[in-house]
Amino acid sequence: MNIAVFASGRGTNFSAVARAVKSGKIKANLALLVCDQPAAAVLGRARRAGVKIALVERLGSSSKEEFENEIIRNLEENKIDLIVLAGFMRILSPSLVRRYQNRIVNIHPSILPSFKGAQAIKDAFEYGVKFTGITVHFVDEETDHGAIILQSTVKIEESDTLESLEAKIHKLEHRLYPEAINLCLSGKLKVKGRQVKIST
């Protein structure tokens, strides 16, 4: 099976996925990186890992539809079975989500439905909760909303700073995301509405 990672920034989760593929933990081919930012550090990571790159710039497209059509063309050309969002800073349109229903996964740095949005770690830290964590979920037509695949918690210690909490979250992401991706590829997940069941 072929997977594509979508990323816009540093690409640490991309590298975690690439390592898991190389080690055999993820039983699939990392066929494509889709990136919308020509200066993103993830592009260098993909080149070093020998992963094909599709650089699709939003500013180079006349409309969101044209932008997504170019992405779809690359996905179809590379026969992508699963889309893995890893810090891709674009909201996918409902039509694209429907086209790849239950084949797009995202990782979010909070225990959803708490602390949605782009500043989830900061929001949890400033709110003063004792625990936060990460959620891996299927993408649906709402933001940070789809059926939950896996969640894991992180305790916020009194000694934690925002930076140390971010480090804890990222470490957990790099461990849990490959596990969730492998579940998606295994055929063991049954999705009904917002419920995900794992068959044994």
Residues with a known catalytic role: 108
The Cα 54–Cα 71 span in angstroms is 8
The Cα 81–Cα 15 span in angstroms is 19
